[in-house]
Structures are given as C-alpha cells and as structure tokens.
Amino acid sequence: MKRVVKPSPFDAELDRFCDALWLEDGLAPLSLESYRRDLTQLFTWLAAQGIAPEQAGAQHIQAFLAHRSLDQKVVARSLARQLTTIKRYHRWLLREGRRGDDPTLTVDPPRLPKPLPKSLSESDVEALLTAPDVDTPLGLRDRAMLETLYAAGLRVSELVNLPSAAVSLSDGVARIFGKGGKERLVPLGEEAQDWIKRYALDARPLILKGQRSEALFVTERGGAMTRQMFWYLIKRHASHAGITKALSPHTLRHAFATHLLNHGADLRTVQELLGHADISTTQIYTYVARERLKTLHAKHHPRG
C-alpha cells in the first residue's frame, strides 16, 4: 500500500525557497531535501509558539536551537548545519524584501567539540619502538629517533632538525627550539639516552660514510632527515608492528602527553615539556587521559 504524505502548511514557502536555492546553486535533490527538513523543524516549532517564519527574532531562533539541543540524538555539528540553513533562509527573505533585518546575525553558533588527538596505547608504543631492525645502521637510527620522539614529546620538525650539539647525554637533556624560536630543555630518560648513545657510536658514522653533518639524525646523503621521510618510516614500522590505527605526524607526541597524565603528571609540567604557550592547548589531553582511565576502570574493576 502506497504511503500517503500529508501536505505541510509550509510547503509553499519551502518550495519557493528551495527553487531559489536550485536556481542560484544548482543543488542536488538530497541537499534541497536537507534544507527542507531543517526549516520544517524550525517552522513547526515557531508555529507552536504562534510565530510566523518570517517574523522570528534572534531570541526565537536561539530558543529553537536550545530546544533542539535537549535531544540527546542531536549533536552540535547537526545544530551548526541547521543554523547555516536558517541563516541562508533569512538572507533570502532579505533579498525578497520580506524582512528588513537578519535576526541570525546575533545568534550564537553551537560550540563544536575539539577533535581529540589520536593517540596510541602503551602496548602499541612498545610494539612500534621495537619494530626497527637494530642490527642494521638505519634500523638503529630509526629506533633512536622513535625513542627520542616518545621520551621527549617532540614535534617531528624538532626531532629531524635536532643538532648533535643540542643533546647532552651526560645531563640527560636536549635543548629544543620550538615554535617561534622558543627554547626549552626536555629530559630524555635512560632508554632514549642509551639508544642515542648506541646510534651515535655504532650507526651514525656508518651512515655518513665520512660525510660531516651537524644534524644528530642523518640520512645516507649526509643531511638531516625530512619530516616526510621520517613519517614514511614510522608508517612502515607501524605496519611491521601490526598497528592498524591511522598515524598522524603528532601521534607519538600525543601518546607522550596522554601517558604522562595517565601516570599522574600535572598539567603544567606537561605544558612545559610540550612547549605549549597556552595551557588550554594542553588541556585536551586531560580528556583523552580521563576517558582512557574510565575505560580501564570499567574493564578491570570488579564493580566497573
């Protein structure tokens, strides 16, 4: 039996608006249907308040969005898209001369959640660190680079541009010049120190083959490694380690921060180690760490 769709009291208005969209932008039917659906929800809510669509003020639109946000199935991104539709509708009303103002100009958009940084578990990091073949000079170099990256939470650009003179193995620190030339000292940890020392003695001279370079981590051409080349190597080692998660240029840096917080480091310390100028940049990791702890609690606690 064919389903009968009841006509909506807003069909004529929606038809005019969607016809204008089609003429202006040539939007596909699915896109036009999305506009219709968004506006139908607004018009229905306004009608319940006794307000015609073209008479809505900023306070009404803001109240509608607040009403929609109460639905747990509606995410902030959907509300942001719906506000975009409402803005487009009111610009059309202005052009048509049916309004003398645009109430959406003062409507606050919903706050979109910041994308969480992709991280690796501690077991994933261990698998990645042990993936290079340390019986070869290049494998030993890669192991030393990965250990340094994870131990110090460096940006990839800081790692590949790290001069030999900036590393003090006797003090166990590296002098890093970050964004804007800002300088910071970062501890390397015993594991990273041992691998750097082994690489510098046993692998670096073999890779350079008599060439000279100020860079600590070098290629067979005698120069510093590029970011692109290093991330190609990381992806290769991750594949070898059986890690299927997508890797970004900051994956180990994110893991460094998250694992520190998981083990009780305070936020200010992590901020200093990462070289963040603003602590708000570092705070995103507290959420990642908190969610990880909640997952572990639920999995391992007898009353989780």
The residue segments making up the domain with residue 145 are 122-300
Question: What is the rounded CA–CA span in Å between residue 120 and residue 253?
Answer: 10
Q: What percent of the chain has pLDDT over 70?
A: 82
Task: Indicate if 190 and 290 belong to the same structural domain.
Answer: yes
**pLDDT on residue 190:** 92
Query: How much is the pLDDT for 191?
Result: 92
Residue 196 lies in a domain: yes
Q: Give me the number of domains the chain comprises.
A: 2
Contact 170, 221 (CB under 8 A): no
94 and 135, same domain (yes or no) = no
Do residue 152 and residue 236 come from a single domain? yes
Q: Which two tokens mark 134?
A: 């340390």
User: Has residue 111 been placed in a domain?
Assistant: no
Q: Based on the fold, state whether residues 92 and 227 are members of the same structural domain.
A: no
Do 16 and 48 lie in one domain? The reply is yes
Q: Are residues 140 and 271 in the same domain?
A: yes
Region 79-95: mean pLDDT is 92
pLDDT tops 90 at residue 104: yes
pLDDT in tens, 120-178: 888 988 999 999 999 999 999 999 999 998 888 888 889 999 999 999 999 999 898 87
Asked whether residue 6 is domain-assigned, the answer is no
Whose CA is closest to 178, among 281, 277, 72?
Answer: 277
Give the CATH number for residue 35. Answer: 1.10.150.130
How does the average pLDDT of the chain come out, rounded? 83
Are both 97 and 139 inside the same structural domain?
no
Could you tell me if 16 and 131 lie in one domain?
no
Domain check: are 37 and 126 in the same one?
no
pLDDT digits (tens, 9 = 90+) for 25-62: 888 888 899 999 999 999 999 999 999 988 999 999 99
Q: How far out from the chain centre does Cα 232 lie?
A: 20
Instruction: Tell whether 215 and 288 lie within a shared domain.
Output: yes
Looking at the fold, whether 93 and 133 belong to one and the same domain comes out as: no
Residues marked active site are found at 155, 179, 250, 253, 276, 285
